[in-house]
């Protein structure tokens, strides 16, 4: 059977054939070869490569919890959330459980699960906000070492927007802290939801200007979160694994002193790395997001 190449060679000299082939290849390669991909185009391409679930739907957060995703929002699971973190220049991690974003892309919530065991809430009335803030500040500055090494902007915590508070009914620990970078300020609104075998972190990252108006919406969305049967806080039974730290360790309030007294410094250190990872992830991602939000909103799928 005569091929297309055979026909071309019959009508063109070898030199003319390869010239034509080069033109065809260059034409096909455009724009990837002839047009340098901009940062916005790269970010959009990566964003669109994530597998999204559009609401309304019920999404799995790992094997332990579910989240009702309403119309107007989109969700991605562990792989998508991890890729989102990596594409925003954050250290790779395997604790991400999911990511929730409204279709207007004005803010987002990251979910991260740590199977540290049942966390007793006996410290709910003794949380030290001042010690907590200092610990957050130190951990954020330590994370800046990684960010400098990888050419990313440094982050600095500057104050509370909401001091830590614990809800004994929902078993939620909530606080909001303001973070500054060269791009401006952002608010990191943190929710820790206690379960039978660990804690789910739900972190809202949003601009200060939109924080007040959006917080009620986020609280409403989190009412759609629930641990699956067998994983709920109230389902703890004697013999289940119990974490060797309480609410104070979750938010780093006085954690170093407690660890030194009990001889758990090494174990607690590893735990704190897991607990504080979402702050670095969420805040870092926000500043990349803020720069690209308008561009992305033009290319998103509804």
Question: pLDDT per residue over 156-194, tens digit each?
Answer: 889 888 899 999 999 999 988 888 888 788 888 889 999
Compute the 3-state secondary structure of the chain and give helix, strand, coil in percent, each to the nearest 5.
Answer: 45, 25, 30
- Indicate if the pLDDT at residue 251 is higher than 60: yes
Domains plus CATH for the chain?
55-299 (3.40.1000.10)
Higher pLDDT, 128 or 55: 55
**Residues 6+ positions from 20 with CB-CB distance below 8 Å:** 8, 12
The four Cα atoms 225, 200, 155, 109 give a dihedral, to 10 degrees, of -20
**pLDDT above 50: residue 270:** no
Which pair of structure tokens corresponds to residue 232? 């709920």
Nearest to 116 by CA among 273, 294, 282, 284: 273
Rounded Cα–Cα distance for residues 112 and 94 (Å)? 9
Mean pLDDT of the chain: 76
The answer to whether the CB of 177 falls within 8 A of the CB of 161 is yes
Three-state DSSP class for residue 42? helix
Instruction: Please give the torsion angle defined by the CA atoms of residues 70, 74, 75 and 80, in that order, rounded to the nearest 10 degrees.
Output: 180
pLDDT in the model for residue 88: 67
- 300, pLDDT greater than 50: no
Average pLDDT of span 102-125: 90
Q: State yes or no: pLDDT of 229 exceeds 90.
A: yes
In the chain, the percentage of residues whose pLDDT exceeds 90 is: 31
CA–CA dist 1, 240 (Å, integer):
72
pLDDT at 82 over 50: yes
The string of pLDDT tens digits covering residues 193-227 is 999 999 999 988 788 888 889 999 999 999 999 99
**Phi and psi of 196, rounded to 5°?**
-65, -40
179, two tokens: 């973070």
In angstroms, the Cα distances linking 155 to 93, 101, 110, 144, 182 are 19, 22, 18, 7, 8
Asked if 199 and 113 count as a contact pair (C-beta separation under 8 A), the reply is: yes
Structure-model confidence comparison of residues 262 and 154, the more confident one: 154
Q: Could you tell me how many residues make up the chain?
A: 302
Q: What pLDDT was estimated at residue 97?
A: 92
Rounded to an integer, the average pLDDT of 114-143 is 87
Nearest 5 degrees, angle CA 15-CA 20-CA 23?
130
Percent of the chain with pLDDT over 70: 70
Position 7 scores a pLDDT of 53
Residue 286, pLDDT score: 47
Output the pLDDT for position 27.
Answer: 52
pLDDT for 34 equals: 55
The model carries a pTM of 0.69
Q: What is the structure's pLDDT at 263?
A: 28
At 111, the pLDDT band (50, 70, 90 cuts) reads: very high
Q: With contact defined as beta carbons under 8 Å apart, do 273 and 255 qualify? A: no
Instruction: Quote the pLDDT of residue 64.
Output: 96
């Amino acid at each position: 059977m005569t091929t297309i190449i055979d026909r071309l060679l019959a009508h063109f000299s070898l030199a003319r054939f390869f010239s034509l082939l080069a033109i065809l290849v260059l034409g096909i390669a455009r724009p990837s070869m002839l047009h340098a991909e901009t940062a916005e185009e790269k970010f959009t391409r990566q964003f669109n490569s994530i597998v999204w679930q559009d609401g309304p739907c019920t999404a799995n957060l790992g094997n332990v919890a579910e989240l009702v995703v309403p119309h107007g929002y989109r969700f991605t699971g562990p792989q998508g959330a991890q890729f989102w973190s990596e594409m925003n220049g954050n250290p790779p991690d395997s604790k991400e459980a999911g990511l929730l974003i409204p279709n207007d892309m004005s803010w987002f919530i990251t979910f991260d699960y740590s199977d540290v065991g049942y966390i007793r809430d006996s410290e709910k009335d003794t949380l030290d906000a001042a010690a907590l803030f200092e610990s957050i500040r130190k951990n954020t500055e330590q994370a800046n070492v990684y960010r400098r090494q990888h050419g990313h902007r440094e982050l600095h915590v500057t104050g509370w927007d909401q001091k830590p508070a614990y809800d004994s009914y929902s078993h939620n620990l909530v606080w909001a802290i303001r973070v500054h970078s060269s791009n401006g300020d952002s608010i990191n609104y943190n929710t820790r939801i206690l379960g039978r075998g660990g804690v789910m972190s739900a972190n809202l990252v949003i601009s200060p200007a939109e924080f007040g108006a959006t917080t009620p919406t986020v609280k409403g969305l989190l009412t759609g979160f629930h641990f699956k049967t067998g994983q709920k806080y109230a389902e703890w039974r004697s013999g289940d694994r119990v974490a060797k730290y309480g609410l104070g360790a979750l938010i780093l309030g006085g954690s170093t002193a407690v660890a030194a007294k009990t001889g758990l410094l090494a174990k607690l250190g590893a735990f704190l790395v897991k607990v504080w990872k979402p702050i670095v992830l969420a805040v870092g991602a926000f500043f990349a997001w803020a720069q690209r939000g308008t561009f992305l909103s033009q290319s998103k799928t509804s």
